């Protein structure tokens, strides 16, 4: 039997704000298999972003266990967690987080720069990543020369350039219009369907969640429901055609 990519059990996360204790996550159990596409939904303050941060090894739980590819994340030191974030997990955020003075190609190269990957290999991998998201002809453009949807696709290219097995996307369409959101979700959907990348998406939009295979709803730090998507949405043009 295959080991789940992600398995968390009795996971709790509490914060101290002055004299107040906030229970952001309360005894959460969740299993995510390889090549799954999971959308996490919930109102502001429900705990969905805290859950994403824990899954991305950006924050540690207060109690409970988190196994990633069978390894107990709670037993890893900071350097080991940093290596996991660099090799196993790609991150995409609502705000794109591109460096304004770097071209699209240079932005995509950044994760490999930190790993001291030789320049020729960096360039080759970055061009391929941009080709994957339909932007190989925009590599020398600065972020302000790209549309919002193109910037987000550059951010996706940067997230996948190290060939991670997991993609975590936090409200990736929050700053985009409906048509552009569909293009971006088409790219994410293709990465899941064709490359087998496990995707965990945080969103508050029902129509975006329907691109996933499974929807988990979080309320007050607990999982309220976990269901398969009965009528999954598919983007008309997955690559976005470099528009």
Does residue 186 belong to any structural domain of this protein? Answer: yes
Does residue 196 belong to any structural domain of this protein? Answer: yes
State the Cα–Cα distance between residues 40 and 21, nearest whole angstrom: 24
Q: Give 10-residue mean pLDDT values along the chain (243 residues).
A: 90 91 94 97 92 94 95 92 91 94 96 86 96 95 96 97 96 93 95 96 94 97 95 71 42
Does residue 227 belong to any structural domain of this protein? Answer: yes
Does residue 170 belong to any structural domain of this protein? Answer: yes
Does residue 144 belong to any structural domain of this protein? Answer: yes
Model pLDDT, residue 148: 95
Whichever domain contains 137, its CATH number is 3.40.50.300
Domain that holds residue 228: 34-60+77-242
Query: pTM value?
Result: 0.93
Model pLDDT, residue 196: 96
Model pLDDT, residue 227: 97
Does residue 185 belong to any structural domain of this protein? Answer: yes
What's the pLDDT tens digit per position in 139-155?
999 999 999 999 999 99
Model pLDDT, residue 116: 80
Q: How many domains does the chain have?
A: 1
């Amino acid at each position: 039997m295959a080991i789940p990519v992600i398995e968390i059990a009795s996971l709790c996360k509490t914060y101290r704000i002055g004299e107040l204790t906030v229970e952001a996550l309360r005894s959460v159990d969740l299993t995510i298999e390889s090549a799954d596409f999971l959308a996490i939904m919930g109102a502001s303050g429900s705990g969905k972003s805290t859950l994403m941060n824990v899954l991305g090894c950006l924050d540690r739980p207060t109690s409970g266990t988190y196994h990633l590819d069978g390894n107990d994340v709670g037993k890893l030191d900071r350097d080991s967690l940093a290596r996991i974030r660099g090799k196993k997990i790609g991150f995409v955020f609502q705000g794109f987080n591109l460096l304004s003075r770097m071209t699209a190609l240079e932005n995509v190269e950044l994760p490999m720069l930190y790993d001291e990957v030789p320049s020729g290999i960096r360039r080759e991998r970055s061009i391929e990543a941009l080709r994957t998201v339909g932007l190989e002809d925009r590599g020398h453009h600065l972020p302000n020369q790209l549309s919002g949807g193109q910037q987000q696709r550059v951010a996706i290219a940067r997230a996948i350039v190290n060939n991670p097995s997991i993609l975590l996307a936090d409200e990736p369409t929050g700053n985009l219009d409906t048509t552009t959101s569909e293009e971006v979700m088409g790219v994410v959907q293709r990465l899941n369907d064709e490359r087998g990348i496990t995707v965990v998406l945080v969103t508050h939009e029902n129509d975006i969640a329907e691109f996933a295979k499974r929807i988990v709803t979080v309320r007050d730090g607990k999982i309220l429901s976990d269901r398969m998507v009965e009528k999954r949405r598919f983007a008309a043009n997955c690559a976005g055609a470099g528009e």
